[in-house]
Structure 1
Amino acid sequence: MTDQPHNPPTHLLQPYHYISSTPGKNIRSALIDCFQLWLNVPPTTDNDTSSNTNNNDNDSSTTTKSTDKLTEIKSIIASLHNASLLIDDIEDNSKLRRGNPVAHSIFGVANCINCANYVYFLALERCRCLGSEEALKVFVQEMLNLHRGQGHDIHTRDSSTVPTESQYISMVIDKTGGLFRLAVGLMQAFATTHQSTDFVPLVNNLGLYFQIRDDLINLADEEYFKSKSFCEDLTEGKFSYPIIHCIRMGEDGVLNSQEGDFVKSSRGNQLLSILKQRTEDVDVKRYAQRLMFEAGSLQYTREKCTMLKREIVSQIEELGGNEPLLKVLEMLDVQVEKIAEVHDGEEKLGVVGTPAGKDYRLKNLDYT
């Protein structure tokens, strides 16, 4: 069997090019630049072969050229991320992505599924062409982890099984942490320094922080609502971090960590019922917000973000410091810090046992 170049027809990649045409936060690329400070991946290597899925290149063929390893790793991670979003939007029945209609509402579900899977395998081929068995091993392992995490997320949602906090964390480490670890793992396969340093604890915490922060923003940030539907996690029936906390918070103010069925508070039962409805009713979703405020769920989530940030900063210092990575962390934290509720002129988030008649609201949401 000859090693023939693969030429992906451009029209089969239209959904991918569509979603790639609207840039996201580009956090993964920024993290790769930060870890380069530690890993020092050599700048170039000759005669690398890579399948091009770049939207700015009209020729999506497989080409032989002098390739910058770091640029190729960034491109592989970006293509996997964008392809996974095509699938996520189908699985979550999303309406908007980055402020635009989701790809499957334009190109159809079947086209988007095939396109996303196609891009996964194009990325695998590009990884193979990097010429490292370790890189290929990392790629396969983290793609398995990613799909396991996504599977658990879908299973809990569709079976209405409320995960424990520890189960949620395991899912996120698989799902969100997968591409983070893959990026660093690919870099370590070619690193000239810190080849054997264990970055996994740091990378897992970065993935956790990123996801829990996103969960908070999804339910509480007015700016986020402009590019996605209002409180979209409620419409998707998603067990995000604050939603899990609210459902598991007992009448006595104690968080239930029991697996399987458990006794829920009136507030928890109401939120679970709303979640099952997959509602698009804004008034119902605002009521769900209020339930979470009263349970202290946004306060709890914000405190978790703060705790994770402290751990990440400590881990960075233990690894010798990384100023660019600290700056990325601070940039991400700005949005978290903006999210606070106003009560009697003080900034605070809802707590358990909110006194009757008190007005706990997010300061940056319009409740009129």
Structure 2
Amino acid sequence: MTDQHQPHQPPPHLLEPYHYISSTPGKNIRSSLIDCFQLWLNVPRLHNPTSSSSSSNPDHKSNNDQNNDSNRHEIDILSEIKSITALLHNASLLIDDIEDNSKLRRGNPVAHSIFGVPNVINCANYVYFLALGRVQALGKEEAMQVFVNEMLNLHRGQGHDIHWRDSTTCPTESQYISMVIDKTGGLFRLAVGLMQAFATTSTDVDFTPLVNNLGLYFQIRDDLINLADEEYMKSKSFCEDLTEGKFSFPIIHCIRHGGGDGSVANQLLSILKQRTEDVDVKRYAQRLMFEAGSLHYTREKCTRLKEEIVQQIVDLGGNDPLLKMIEMLDVQVEKIAELHGCERGGEGGGYETRGVGTPKRGDDPSLNLDYT
């Protein structure tokens, strides 16, 4: 019988889907955000909890010498929070790709197309609990509360997203924003919340409004890029949100504000129902959104969110690395606006669309900032 008090050692073959998706990482935006918030929170480098978390690390390599290390229980808190956030993020992507029936992730075939759906589901859930074990090993009740609350929020948001898609129910903009705050903002708040459990400065500051706006900006920016940036589409399928039948920010706007007679809304809803992979059909849907001003509206929403975020950062005393990150992320959005000519038209109130569906991007790889 297994000794339940022995450290849990994950069998490597059960974690192959996790290692597969981790082998082609994104841009580590969440890790960079943690570094930015460290300027405010000053989390101490080392912590000595009651137990070690090394056995819960999917990337942990056993080393007999470690058993004799008198400092083996010390944890680099910031590195551990980064690792926990990465575990949860990559595990959630494994599940998302199954739920969305995606084909590509970061330019590679999705994990379940290689390892199969049952293995990937079990692996992702396994990693969720490995992450939970590592939070528990930090030895802070507040950290556990943050983990549970934000994982509940994340799954509530994902549940709404799936329900709208599968029932072809177009949410309001307000409902969509609430969903994004739950789903995308969840891991952001989790990371910052774990840091606050160990913070030595700014302990009484409420960062939630800023973190929520960061989640909104990142998601709505991604919605725009998904439907308008063909360079980004090389790592995924063309206008992937249309194939997935997803109600993203510009799609919601087009359905609700695309025209008085409802014909645009009906056409776009019909396209979403089909889960089409036909590029010509998706280009037509893309054109509908341009002509309805939905991509321009989405770009303007990104601009307003960016301005709010910048002001919030200033009000909190400033944070140059975070400001630089936001400016860098906004470069790609600005480039899309230039390439597609998302400008308000004449007296008719429509929007001019130059070269819709056929933009030519520059060669600067720094503009391709996939935060997944």
For normalisation by structure 2, the TM-score amounts to 0.89
Q: Distance in 1 between matches of 2:161 and 2:344?
A: 27
Q: CA deviation at 1:65?
A: 3.8
SS in 1 for 2:215: helix
Instruction: Determine the structure 1 residue equivalent to 2:324.
Output: 327
Matches within 5 A, 1:102-117: 102-117=110-125
Instruction: Determine the structure 1 residue equivalent to 2:48.
Output: 46
Q: Distance in 2 between matches of 1:60 and 1:245?
A: 55
Please list the CA deviations of residues 244-273 of structure 1 after superposition, one character each: whole Å capped at 9, or x if unmatched: 000001525xxxxxxxxxxx6211110110
Q: CA deviation at 1:45?
A: 1.9
Q: CA deviation at 1:223?
A: 1.4
| 1:170 aligned to which of 178, 183, 187 | 178
Contact 1:339 1:362 in 2 (8 A): no
SS in 2 for 1:8: coil
| 1:7 aligned to which of 9, 31, 42 | 9
Q: CA deviation at 1:175?
A: 0.2
Q: Which runs of 5+ in 1 are unaligned?
A: 253-263
Instruction: Determine the structure 1 residue equivalent to 2:288.
Output: 291
Q: Distance in 1 between matches of 2:273 and 2:354?
A: 25
Contact 1:341 1:361 in 2 (8 A): no
Q: Distance in 2 between matches of 1:220 and 1:129?
A: 44
Instruction: Determine the structure 2 residue equivalent to 1:17.
Output: 19
Contact 2:56 2:133 in 1 (8 A): no
Q: CA deviation at 1:359?
A: 5.2
- C-alpha spacing 1:270/1:127, structure 2 compared with 1 (3 Å): same
Contact 2:172 2:252 in 1 (8 A): yes
Aligned: 1:118 with 2:165 = no
Q: Distance in 2 between matches of 1:99 and 1:224?
A: 10
Amino acid of the structure 2 residue aligned with 1:283: D
Identify the range of structure 1 (57-66 vs 18-27) with the bigger mean alpha-carbon deviation. 57-66
Q: CA deviation at 1:360?
A: 3.5
Aligned: 1:89 with 2:91 = no
Amino acid of the structure 1 residue aligned with 2:207: F
Matches within 5 A, 1:223-238: 223-238=231-246
Identify the range of structure 1 (332-341 vs 291-300) with the bigger mean alpha-carbon deviation. 332-341
Contact 2:287 2:356 in 1 (8 A): no
Q: Distance in 2 between matches of 1:231 and 1:67?
A: 43
Q: Distance in 2 between matches of 1:107 and 1:219?
A: 29
Amino acid of the structure 1 residue aligned with 2:52: T
Aligned: 1:348 with 2:348 = no
Q: Distance in 1 between matches of 2:171 and 2:63?
A: 42
Aligned: 1:74 with 2:90 = no
Instruction: Determine the structure 1 residue equivalent to 2:297.
Output: 300
Please list the CA deviations of residues 290-339 of structure 1 after superposition, one character each: whole Å capped at 9, or x if unmatched: 00000000000000000000000000011000001001111111111111
Aligned: 1:360 with 2:354 = yes
Q: CA deviation at 1:365?
A: 2.2
Identify the range of structure 1 (36-45 vs 1-10) with the bigger mean alpha-carbon deviation. 1-10
- C-alpha spacing 1:80/1:181, structure 2 compared with 1 (3 Å): same
SS in 2 for 1:361: coil
Aligned: 1:144 with 2:152 = yes
Instruction: Determine the structure 1 residue equivalent to 2:38.
Output: 36
Percent identical pairs in the alignment equals 75
SS in 1 for 2:45: coil
Contact 1:149 1:175 in 2 (8 A): yes
Contact 2:154 2:186 in 1 (8 A): yes
Q: CA deviation at 1:25?
A: 1.6
Amino acid of the structure 2 residue aligned with 1:8: P
Contact 2:81 2:194 in 1 (8 A): yes
Amino acid of the structure 2 residue aligned with 1:189: A
Contact 2:103 2:110 in 1 (8 A): yes
Contact 2:221 2:302 in 1 (8 A): yes
Q: CA deviation at 1:4?
A: 2.9
Instruction: Determine the structure 2 residue equivalent to 1:249.
Output: 257
Q: Distance in 1 between matches of 2:19 and 2:339?
A: 42
- C-alpha spacing 1:2/1:90, structure 2 compared with 1 (3 Å): closer
Amino acid of the structure 2 residue aligned with 1:348: C
Identify the range of structure 1 (40-49 vs 268-277) with the bigger mean alpha-carbon deviation. 40-49
Higher relative contact order (CA 8 A, sep 6+): 2
Instruction: Determine the structure 2 residue equivalent to 1:257.
Output: none
